[in-house]
Amino acid sequence: MRAPRRSVLAGFLSLLGEVLITVGLVLGLFVAYSLWWTNVLADRQAATRGDEIRRQWQAPAPDRPAEPGALDTGDGVGFLHVPAMKNGEVLVKAGTAPDVLDDGVAGYYTEPVKSALPWDATGNFALAAHRDGHGAKFHNIDKVRTGDAIVFETRDTWYVYKAFAELSQTSKYNVDVINPVPRESGRTAPGRFITLTTCTPVYTSKYRYIVWGELVRTEKVDAQRTPPAELR
């Protein structure tokens, strides 16, 4: 009479094993989608929009804004280059909501603190991007060191910043890090700053990782769009 019981138990364990394998496969596919396929889709989208921006820059003067970024229609205001992150060029648009950042771009803050733009006389050009999935443009933010170049490219100007401080972990509610004068960086007077923000630890959104830079010079874009020395 014991054999049937063992048979029922064996059947149950076999069914449980199949269920666990199926759940594991589903979770594996979800992780692959979240961390790989969303990157593929976002990179394609960002590349397409980036190409559109560059075509607009080449358009005759009457067909484009008089100043870079004067009209932010959602297409983007320029490209961020951070060699230490090894992430290529990153299109920058207005806003930091998921529907913006999920397209594989960086966004400048419009709230709760309004970001300055690079061509403003003073202020903090504060940016956010994903660290994993959806292009993961700031995945390697922890590779940026003091003195590393952070370059922003517009139609007619290269803005060259140098990183000078970082904060490896802070509350996601800490908006002081993107203030016009980011005092947590050690600066106490107005200047022309850039701030990069993203989630940390990797694959979570519990805290924020911050890198600050300060403008050291600008260069006019020549006909060949020769990049500044920091990008060669």
**Amino acid letter, 159:** Y
> How big is the chain by its Cα radius of gyration, in Å?
23
Q: Which of 76, 78, 80 is nearest to 93 (CA)?
A: 76
Catalytic residue among 81, 130, 134, 139: 130
Residue 81 known to be catalytic: no
- Which one, of 79, 83, 107, 110, lies nearest residue 93 by Cα? 107
Q: Which among 34, 47, 37 is positioned nearest to 105, based on CA atoms?
A: 47
Closest Cα partner for 74 from 51, 48, 93, 54? 93
Give the C-alpha separation, 181 to 102, whole Å: 28
Residue ranges of alpha helices (H) inside the chain are 2-32, 38-57, 98-101
Name the catalytic one among 81, 134, 139, 199: 199
Q: Token pair for residue 99?
A: 């529907």
Question: Cβ distance 163 to 147 under 8 Å?
Answer: yes
Could you give the CA distance from residue 9 to residue 183 in angstroms, rounded to a whole number? 65
Report residue 124 as tokens.
């903090």
User: What is the DSSP secondary structure assignment for residue 37, as one 8-state letter?
Assistant: I
Question: Annotated catalytic, 199?
Answer: yes
Active site residues: 130, 199
